[in-house]
Every structure is written in structure tokens, then in C-alpha cells.
Structure 1
């Protein structure tokens, strides 16, 4: 009944959209600066039709803003082929075309940024949406960008010094329904841009509360259709605040243009997981197995500083770039567990109490520089060449205290109020450094002749890596790994007429190895009962890729397109058996990884974004994108898809402006297909429920708009099926160690925001 009401609420507005659009569609008068971003413009905001040769989808902030996304991840949920494998209400690691985040290049203002993850990926929920000017989905690669983009690249363009003339303030309240009276939070942001001395200055600040309350429920069986061993009832609340500050300055200097910019983002988050585990699924005190309290305190700082100087010289345009980016991720985790059925005496008498404590401190900084030059050649051909360099320094410190355990048969544990943990000691693979130096020269030609626009280039990427692991045996603590790859790329755009065009692209790209697979430390019982040791000599995965698309303009501002893509990936990093017996004894082994796999990825991507002016409804905008995704890889058992690749991603929605009322409303619906994963000793199938978001907005003064949004209105859930095995032999024979069904769900989030321009 609830689903029917919500779907009805989102469909009813379309029924009278035609009547509304009969009213005058004259745009509200106002300045074309900050006011455009906070008042009702009287017309839908659509996807941009870019002039890029490389297939690129571009979305201005107005495309997302009406739904008031909190982060860049929330905004990206509406663009084609972007999937997430995050918890409900979270959008962190971008899975472009469904592939692991490590296959997607995340750029900030066209430049790489480091992330704290082992797969080198950057969590986009670290960037507040309020900083964004536009988002670009770059489907193929060019010689003047890093080749770490097998799936493609997401370029998050932040506001610069030329973005605004004036400013605005954003004030809002958020509500989460995870208690009887709900939980409340706030959001505040302010941005100003204008003339400052000889140049232009932009300043912005943002503070917003973040909360993600989830309920989880697990059932664990001896096997499919087997005996129910236990159930677990869990609450998982993630509560925190994000702080951000950004600045940009642009000024003419010595015949050129100097651009300086900086962004700082702090994520303060506390995760509280509490669970009760029951024997045989009988959820009474007499069958209470364990009570678990798992708390995680996170503080992550992101800093990015960029400088660019551009001027005419040497017969063309020369650009100097210098940048510094750092991520500092500090976490402290505490877990306490009480056990009650180790003997015949049931709750409340406690049998054993266990305490664990882990500290994580990861710092990853990159210093980047570039020297680039463009010049015109004959017949409209442009030559661009340059060299780009990056120095990465990553420090890893993951340590834990000795486990504290109290065994107290038939009596409560006489544990201290404050646990006296011992000294922290590094976990295997948890203490060391990674130093990586890249120097990447490139050359590129581009031109335009009549209906043809093209570019072609070569990029040569060199990588020198030194890995120091202080937890490994002395003989293997320091290892070096050097490699180089030649990456050609080419793109062609053919304009068939004023409305239709074809875009073709081919490129070679790479994916560098995950950091945790480079460590030579041995991890005991990492895969079921078997151990794992990393391989510091891993080479990058390589891929040849092609994209072929057709795009048509609809009316003045609408766009419809379809794109087919294919990736042939070689030197995949896959687990291999060393043949050595594992630490658990006979029947177990020590596994490592090597470049032994090959795979293919392919799919079709359709997107439509248009106002309905061609049917007499200029104030009604609709968007629809659907991506069908597939892949194939041969692993230790047989054929499968790339791990955790959803088989489709669907987004559809509408916006309806009512210019004479100074109002608008809209809705968006999202559904992501199933994702399957198979690794040593474990297989997972993940299913997501649908997500519905709506907004209502009203201009209350000439410079003020009030907006109400609701997200997760379908109480979306994430459901997972785990097949667990003790070893690979059992996995092949389907001899189960455990079969688990887990579901997590969260309620709706409401946000009331006022934006005031000045």
C-alpha cells in the first residue's frame, strides 16, 4: 500500500503537467550569477551537449541541485552507468560500468586525487555537493590524461573564481526517522565570488550533519535449505559532520593567467554497531548467544592545492601546473563481545567477555607537476605535447592491541570499567610505506575539418615503486617494482547534420595493482582456513577499449544518445596457489596473486534528457538512462562476470516548473541490478531495492527559494547471500561451512533547505 501511494504521488504531477505548462513560461528576471542557482528558473535543466571529441557526458550543478544531494556521490547516482556497492544511504566508491572502483579514474578539476582505499580509489562522498560546478563522465581516454581509466573517468569540476558574481547562503534541516521522535541535523553553506584586487576571488564554506541509521538482520544456515544455526539482529548507526572550505583566485600576471585553488574537507564520523545473536533463530533471552558492541571512530582530512599558469609563448600556449593533494585517514575501532551459552547457564549469567582494539592511520600524499604546450599547425591541426609527473608517498600504520578475554563460568565477568589494553602492535602488512614515482610524457594531435573533429595521441607512463613492509621477514622488507606502458588513444566525431552525430573512440588503459596485494607479509586464514601472501612484483592490468555512440539533439536543449562499449582486459590479477601448506595444516594452502587472467567487459548505454517543448510542454523536463552491463572472466572454478558488476543501472525522473507560481516539483527513481562476486572460499550475491526521491520548491522572495526534498522514500534495502567454505576444494564440491542471508534497510530522509542569494 505504501509503495502504491508513493508511486502514485510521483505520477500524479505528470498528469497535470500539460495544464501547468500552458501557463506563461517566461523566465524569472534576475542576475545571471548566483541568483540562477537559487531561484526557480522557469525551465528544466538538462544534460549538456559537449563539444569534446572524446565521448563525454556533462551535467551542470542545476541538473542535480533540486534534489539537494549532500555529496558528490549522491549527485552521481543520477548519471548513466554509475553503480555503487555501498551500504544503503551511502554512495562512496564509484563503480563506473559496474566495475570495481579501482577501474575508474576520479578527477578533481581534471587532476588525480589520492584516496585512502587499498585500490587507489577516491570515495566521492568525501566531496560535498555544494562545491560542485559540474560533473563529467568521460567514457574513453586521451593522451593528456592519466591512463588509469579502464572503465572511464569521473571529473568533478569545482566552482572557480569566474563562477559567481555575488554569493548565496544555504541553510537547512535534515530529519532521519530512526527513533520515535526522529533525529535532526543541520546544514549550512555560503559561497561568494567577486573582484578582489587585480583578480577574481571565490570563497566557500560548508558544514553539514551526516547520519545513516540502518537495521540489519542475518540468518545463518548449515547450507542452502539446511538447518538454521543462528540469527543476528543488528543496528548500525553512522553519525557525523562534514566540514569543507574552498577558495580560488584568478589573476593576470606577466602576460598570462595565474589560477590558484584549494579545497579542504574533513569527515568526522562515528559508527555504532550493536548486535544480538540467537541460537537456532529462537530470539529469546534463553537462546541468546552473544551481545556485540562494535564502535568505529573516523576522522578523514582531504586537502588539495593547485596552481596553474598559462600564457602565450614559444609560438603557442604553454601551461605550467603544480599541485599537492593529501588524504589523512585516522580510525579507532573498539569491539566488545559477551557470550552466554558456552555452558548450560543462560542469560543474564555471562560466560566469556572479549575485547579487541584496532588503530588505523593512513596518510597518502601526492605532489604533481606538468609542463604542457599547444600550438597550431597547418590546415587547422593542433599539436599538444607535454610531460606530467607524480610523486606518491603513502604511509601505513595499522595496529591492534592484544586481545583481552575473561572466562567466567556461571558468573558475571568482573571486568574493569575501562579496559586496560596493552601496547599497540602492527598487524601483518600494516606497517610500512609505498613510494611511487611517475613521469608520463605525451603527444597529441587534434583537428577539425568540415563535419569531422578528431584527436589522436600517445602517452608513455613510467612507474617506479618502492615498497617497505616492516612486518615482513627481513629479507623481503624492501622491494622495488618498475614498469612502463605505451598507451595510444584516438577519438573521432562525425556530424551527420545539425542534430545528429557519431562519436568513435579507442584507447589503451591500465589499472595499477591494489596496495594490499603488493605487501609480502603473510595473512593467516585470509581465505577460509588458507593463508595469503602478496606479490610486490605485480604488473598493471592492461585493457584495449572501444566506444561507439550516436547522439541526437532534441529541440533546443534536449539530448538523446546510445553508446556501445567493449574492453579487452589482459594480465588480470588473480589468486594462485603457491602449493605450500597453510598455517592451519593439511588441506590448507598459502595463496598469492599474479598476472594470470584475461577478461572482457561490454555493454549498451542509453540516455535521454530533454524538456518536452516539442510537444508544447516547455516547463516539463524528463530524463531516462539505462545501462546494460556484462562481462566474462575465467577464474579458478570457471566462467563468471567481473566481481560485483551489476547487470544494469536504471534512472528515470522528471521536473516540472511552474513559472507563474515561482514553484517547481519533480521525482527521480533509481534501480540497480544484482551483483555477483566469487573469491577464494566465499561467494556473494548482492541485490538492491529501488530508490525514490522527490522535491518541492517555492520562490518566496526574488532572491530566495525554499526547497523540501525526500530521499529513500521506498525504504530501500540491500540484500546479500553469502556462500562460505573452509577451502577451495570444499567450494568446488559445494561443501558448505555456512550459508548466510543478510538484509539491511533504512528509512526515508527529509531535508528542508532555504537558499538566499545576494
Structure 2
């Protein structure tokens, strides 16, 4: 995410994740639909709300990473760090599953930025919720499945190089090997990736303390250089002892060393009658993260029952660890010094799950299941040879029942009830007691298909969102900083979970010409009513230590806010010109998303951060052969309106409109060799401005943040063997 290089990365990530980063919505591109398949139209109610991108769709374009592909799908946002969300609802609202396990980290986000396309088997995007899934899908669910052992082993090697004239690069090499012998199946995928890129920012802070003129201006311009290496392994080994049983051990692991260097030049001016101060200073830091490691093995047993039902059982674990060291320096005229810090994060999870699909008749199926999750998070700060640790645990027990019924060929009904028991265990030395919550999460989904060209659906569901671990740790704060760009973080162990009641209502119409389908129109209305909304507020207090350059301290604090209501409309259109009088091998598509949010008891504007009220995606895909042109190529444009949002009761933020352009192409050099190319990140720079009172006398403080956008070109060569 965009950050202010003069300050340590982890502080920005933790402290401004919900406030400032969302003021800078990042690039997302237009939808691309020709190869997308909605599978099982007659099998499940949720299929009307689910889009499935199979391997053919994912690999038929020029995209080299999953982030590039999903960032131009309708309603999907992916920021610069690969954090993904639906409908612009922000962090923590979108449930992301990788091979059936939650990918959302302790801070509520799920990153897909480092998953190469060659490792993906399929992706499912579900705009809705059902009892059989976790109840945290407020905006929807994105399910990612990596390459597993199947009846069609894949042996492929690919090399990819991305570059930018501004000195950025992204290189990777991937290898996939698979096979099958008697009862044994296997598939392994390995990727080695190296990235180097810059983040260039400019932050201008102006303070008017009610004196009638701008008395203080701080102009901070900085460059952050980031280098990352990554080794990722995924795969599965499976045994089929007979036709009805399959036992598979899958894994996903990666190691990621990372380093960051940043330097900023600050121009400070203070002007008051009889006193003028003008000075410059340099600040910077070097941060090295020891190889982060992440491993998630899962053992799964699938059995086909004699009555046509299915039984699934699985057990798995997820272990994560990272060590971070920072060195910071500042040579201001009135202060010069160095600062160092050392942090360790550990997260340990394990889960077990059972599921039965039992046919009751030819038209109905009853599904029963349960899931147990145990999550432990340990954060350690080391300073001056002393260490301070905080440990939090979360226990989740879930059971569900779901009934799928098809009373006729036109109607499908799915209804269910999910119960989740959540216990948050506070640190041993905390004065706050552990809390247990019981959530009942009903859901209802109805689909009506009057003919082969039309389909309508209705969905109702109750979902929830847990607070982040780091927001709940008592006293988890920094006693260094306190600037607007680098506020203190204040923990809130009294945070409660957020609950949401959601409505989905949609319609799809196929377009035909002389009996051939040439396009599709779709419309979907969604609404959410959120209670105990988890809101991060940024506020200031007078500095207890008088400081002319820092008269106030900024603090970031999470609270349960008032009821929040959201209403949205999604419109989509697709048309193939091949079957028109023009007879062009071009498919046009357009998608429009409109949203409006209202926070109770708050003056206008009152909306969620990062949720632009209007997003328009336009694009086309073409298929040509011969003449030196690519076999498949296309272009996408995204136009996102600007908006105003309220960061807290007194601070208003204004985000400028965004425009972005991306292009892609693929050449089939021969039946086993492909060349892919992408060109993206064209568009205006990110810019937001926040205005807040700076003094009781009526003065104001204005902070303007700009982040430069770099365009990037990429080429990838693939070879099957």
C-alpha cells in the first residue's frame, strides 16, 4: 500500500491500514468475461451468484499472475500489496479461501499478490453467503484452488520478466510436474520470484491555528526501495485405494526474505509575526525482514457413499513466522539521532472439519457438517535487550445444516443455519476477561430459471466480522511517532464482533441472434445493515510534552461504531461482435458498480473508506490468427469517481478520481509454447487530502498525500513438456 517512506513500514501497515491507505484506492482494471464459465447452472442455487474461472479461462490471456487477472474482474479490487476485496468494502469484509482454508491474516486482509498463475487450478467468486461456508463472507467469498493431483498431470516450465523504465523489475521462474501411476497421483508446483520496486510519495501538511494565515507547512518527499525474494511450493500427493475413496495430502509453503530502504527530504517552514523558521532535514530507515515462512499442509479424505451421498473429512495446520529489524535516522537541526527496533510475529492455526451430503430424494439433498479452529497469535517486541510479548488465542467451533431442494425444473431453494461459537482469549497478564460469543447465522437463497436465457436469484444471509488480533491486544501501542502519517496505535480489548444482515437480488438475461448467444446483460442489487461496525478512528490530543513542531499527538483507535447501512447496484453487459454484421472477432464488455454508505448519527459525508460511489469498467477481447498479431489480446479501462469520506467526527477526507489502463496479449508459438505480454499501471497518480481542526480557536490542519504510479511491462514464456 502507499506509505510515507520516512517512517517504518510496519507502523504504516498496522496503524494506517484502515485509515490512510484506504484514502488511496489502488489500480483495478476492467472485467473480462468471454472465457468465464458459470458451472452447474442446474445443480446449485448459489451458482447464480457464483462465477467460476477455470484453468482454461485463467491461462487463455496474457496475465502472468493471479493478481493481474483478478484485478480486472467486475467488483474485484486488488491493491499494490495484493490484498483483495469485493465491492470496495475494504479490509476484512471479503472471505478468501485457499484450498478450503481461510487465507485472511490476523490483520483482516488476504494477499494474493505473490501467487503465480501457473499454480492456480480455478477461482470461484461468490457474491453471497450460505450456511455451509464460514459466516465471515460479508462482501462475498473468493475461493482459490491451486494445482492438485488430477487425472490430467501437467508438466510446464515458465519464465517471466517484468520491468519499468523507473528501475523496477519482477522476474520469476516456475516449474510444474505431475504424474499418475496405478492408485497414486501427484502434482508439484515450484516458483522462484524476485521483485524490486519503488514507492515515491509526497506529503504536505499545512496548519492554520486560527490566526488567519497558514503558519506552518511541512513538505515531506520520500522514496522507498523494496526488494523481495520468494520461494513458493504447492502440490498434492493422493492415493485412490478404490473407486469410492480418495486420500490426499496437499501443501502450500513459501519463504520470503525482504528488505526496504527509505529516505525522505523534509522542507519545514513556520511563519508568524516576528518569527520565521525555515529548515530542511533528512530522515530515513533500513528495514530487513528475516525470511518469513509460511506452511499449510492439509490431509483430506473424500468418500463416495453407496446412496449417492458424499463424506469429507480433513485436518490441517497453518504456521507463520516473521522477524523484523529496523534502523531509523534523522538529522533535523534541533534533533539528530538514530532509533532501532526488533519485532517477531508468530501465528499458529489448526483446523478439522467434517461434511456429509445426504440425498433425501431425487430433488433434495441435506448437508450436515462442523468445523473446529484454533488460532494463536504471538507478538514480541525487543528493545534494549528486553523483550515484551503479547499472546492472543481465538477458538471457533462451528456446526451447520443446509437443505437444497428443487421443487421443479425452474425453481431451486437453499436454506440453512450455521452456529459459530467464538472465544477470544486475552493475554495472561491482561486485566480484561476472555469473551465467548454464540452466533446464529441463517441463510436463504432462491433461484428462478424460467427458460435457458433468463435467471433470477434472491439471497438473504447473516454474517459477521471479527476484530483483528492486533487491535485487541491491551496496550499495544507505539510511544514513538504521533504524527498524522505515523500515529500512535491504541489497543481496544473491549472490541466486539461485527454482525451484518445482507440482501442479494439479481437477474441475468442472455442475448441471442438467430439462435446463437451473442451476449449477456446482468443486474444485481445488494444491501447490508451492519451492527457494531468495526471502525478505526484517527484523532488528536494536545501533546503532553510541549513541542513547537508537534503540538498535537495523533492516535489510531478501533471502536465499535454505530449502525452502518450500505446499498449497491452492479450492472454488466457483454456483446460478441463476431455474430453481428461487422463480423469482428471482438468481445465487448462493460461493468458499472454504484454504492452508497451511511453511518448512523454522523453528518454527511458518512461512508466506508475506500468505497468509491461509482466505478466503470470498459474493455474488449479479440481473437486473431496470422499476420503477426497475437492469438488473443485485449485492453481494459477503469474509471473510478472521486469521493469524500469522514475519517472521524471532525476529519473529512477527499479522494481524487482515478483512471487506469492495461493491455494484454498471448501468442501461441506452437502447440506447446506460449508467449504472454502485459502492459499496465497507466493512469493518474493517487491523491487524497484530509482536513481536520488543528486548534480550538478554529484553525485547520490539511494533509495532502500523493503517490506516484509507475507503468510496468511484462513478458512470460511457457513451455509444456
Instruction: Bin the TM-score by the shorter chain.
Output: 0.7 to 0.9
TM-score, normalising length from structure 1?
Answer: 0.79
Decide which moves more: 716-725 or 99-108: 716-725
Q: What is the CA deviation profile of residues 191-226 of structure 1, one whole-angstrom value per residue up to 9, with x for unaligned ones?
A: 123214522211111122223323222222224983
Match of 2:711 among 742, 748, 758: 748
1:288/1:587 Cα in 2 relative to 1: closer, same or farther (>3 Å)?
A: closer
| Cross-structure match for 1:602 | 567
Match of 2:612 among 632, 646, 654: 646
1:60/1:440 Cα in 2 relative to 1: closer, same or farther (>3 Å)?
A: same
Give the distance between the partners of 2:110 and 2:572, measured in 1 at CA: 26
Kindly indicate whether residue 45 of structure 2 is the aligned counterpart of residue 53 of structure 1. yes
Kindly indicate whether residue 75 of structure 2 is the aligned counterpart of residue 81 of structure 1. yes
Match of 1:232 among 214, 220, 245: 220
Shift in Å at residue 610 of structure 1? 5.0
| Cross-structure match for 2:29 | none
Q: What is the CA deviation profile of residues 343-375 of structure 1, one whole-angstrom value per residue up to 9, with x for unaligned ones?
A: xxxxxxxxx422122223222222111111111
Unpaired runs of 5+ residues, structure 1, are: 1-42, 343-351, 402-421
Match of 1:133 among 114, 121, 135: 121
1:238/1:649 Cα in 2 relative to 1: closer, same or farther (>3 Å)?
A: farther
Match of 1:441 among 391, 399, 402: 399
Q: What is the CA deviation profile of residues 347-405 of structure 1, one whole-angstrom value per residue up to 9, with x for unaligned ones?
A: xxxxx422122223222222111111111113511101111111111111234x4xxxx
| Cross-structure match for 2:633 | 665
Unpaired runs of 5+ residues, structure 2, are: 1-31, 272-276
Instruction: Answer yes or no: is the 8 Å Cα contact 2:392–2:473 preserved in 1.
Output: no
1:216/1:533 Cα in 2 relative to 1: closer, same or farther (>3 Å)?
A: closer
Kindly indicate whether residue 55 of structure 2 is the aligned counterpart of residue 98 of structure 1. no
Give the distance between the partners of 1:487 and 1:582, measured in 2 at CA: 45
1:219/1:669 Cα in 2 relative to 1: closer, same or farther (>3 Å)?
A: same
Instruction: Answer yes or no: is the 8 Å Cα contact 2:474–2:493 preserved in 1.
Output: yes
1:618-633 alignment, distance < 5 Å:
619-633=585-599
Match of 2:198 among 209, 213, 231: 213
Instruction: Answer yes or no: is the 8 Å Cα contact 2:300–2:312 preserved in 1.
Output: yes
Give the distance between the partners of 1:63 and 1:281, measured in 2 at CA: 58
1:640/1:610 Cα in 2 relative to 1: closer, same or farther (>3 Å)?
A: same
Instruction: Answer yes or no: is the 8 Å Cα contact 1:530–1:582 preserved in 2.
Output: no
1:557/1:757 Cα in 2 relative to 1: closer, same or farther (>3 Å)?
A: farther
Q: What is the CA deviation profile of residues 621-670 of structure 1, one whole-angstrom value per residue up to 9, with x for unaligned ones?
A: 33322211211103666660123322233322222221345633221222
Kindly indicate whether residue 280 of structure 2 is the aligned counterpart of residue 322 of structure 1. no
Instruction: Answer yes or no: is the 8 Å Cα contact 1:725–1:735 preserved in 2.
Output: yes
Kindly indicate whether residue 103 of structure 2 is the aligned counterpart of residue 110 of structure 1. no
State the number of aligned residues.
657
Decide which moves more: 642-651 or 99-108: 642-651
Kindly indicate whether residue 180 of structure 2 is the aligned counterpart of residue 195 of structure 1. yes
Match of 2:411 among 452, 455, 478: 452
Instruction: Answer yes or no: is the 8 Å Cα contact 1:685–1:722 preserved in 2.
Output: yes
1:440/1:183 Cα in 2 relative to 1: closer, same or farther (>3 Å)?
A: closer
Give the distance between the partners of 1:104 and 1:629, measured in 2 at CA: 16
Give the distance between the partners of 2:713 and 2:416, measured in 1 at CA: 48
1:292-307 alignment, distance < 5 Å:
292-298=283-289, 299-307=291-299
Decide which moves more: 134-143 or 320-329: 320-329
Match of 2:326 among 315, 318, 333: 333
Q: What is the CA deviation profile of residues 130-149 of structure 1, one whole-angstrom value per residue up to 9, with x for unaligned ones?
A: 32222222111111111011
Instruction: Answer yes or no: is the 8 Å Cα contact 1:46–1:621 preserved in 2.
Output: no
Kindly indicate whether residue 488 of structure 2 is the aligned counterpart of residue 538 of structure 1. no
1:317/1:594 Cα in 2 relative to 1: closer, same or farther (>3 Å)?
A: same
| Cross-structure match for 1:483 | 437
1:257/1:583 Cα in 2 relative to 1: closer, same or farther (>3 Å)?
A: farther
| Cross-structure match for 1:514 | 468
Shift in Å at residue 536 of structure 1? 2.7
Give the distance between the partners of 1:83 and 1:724, measured in 2 at CA: 28
| Cross-structure match for 2:524 | 563
Kindly indicate whether residue 681 of structure 2 is the aligned counterpart of residue 705 of structure 1. no
Give the distance between the partners of 2:362 and 2:507, measured in 1 at CA: 27
| Cross-structure match for 1:419 | none
Shift in Å at residue 755 of structure 1? 1.0
1:126/1:477 Cα in 2 relative to 1: closer, same or farther (>3 Å)?
A: farther
Match of 1:467 among 410, 413, 426: 426
TM-score, normalising length from structure 2?
Answer: 0.83
Instruction: Answer yes or no: is the 8 Å Cα contact 2:61–2:632 preserved in 1.
Output: no
Shift in Å at residue 312 of structure 1? 3.3
1:527/1:390 Cα in 2 relative to 1: closer, same or farther (>3 Å)?
A: farther
Shift in Å at residue 110 of structure 1? 3.2
| Cross-structure match for 2:21 | none
Instruction: Answer yes or no: is the 8 Å Cα contact 2:474–2:492 preserved in 1.
Output: yes
Decide which moves more: 718-727 or 372-381: 718-727
1:170-189 alignment, distance < 5 Å:
170-178=158-166, 182-189=167-174
1:413-452 alignment, distance < 5 Å:
422-423=384-385, 425-426=387-388, 431-448=389-406, 449-452=408-411
| Cross-structure match for 1:418 | none
Shift in Å at residue 681 of structure 1? 6.6
Give the distance between the partners of 2:154 and 2:82, measured in 1 at CA: 32
Give the distance between the partners of 2:342 and 2:693, measured in 1 at CA: 29
Question: How well do the aligned residues superpose, as a CA RMSD in angstroms?
Answer: 3.4
Match of 1:370 among 331, 353, 357: 353
Instruction: Answer yes or no: is the 8 Å Cα contact 2:533–2:561 preserved in 1.
Output: yes
Kindly indicate whether residue 261 of structure 2 is the aligned counterpart of residue 272 of structure 1. yes
Decide which moves more: 676-685 or 374-383: 676-685
1:115/1:202 Cα in 2 relative to 1: closer, same or farther (>3 Å)?
A: same
Instruction: Answer yes or no: is the 8 Å Cα contact 2:96–2:141 preserved in 1.
Output: yes
Kindly indicate whether residue 675 of structure 2 is the aligned counterpart of residue 723 of structure 1. no
Give the distance between the partners of 1:321 and 1:197, measured in 2 at CA: 24
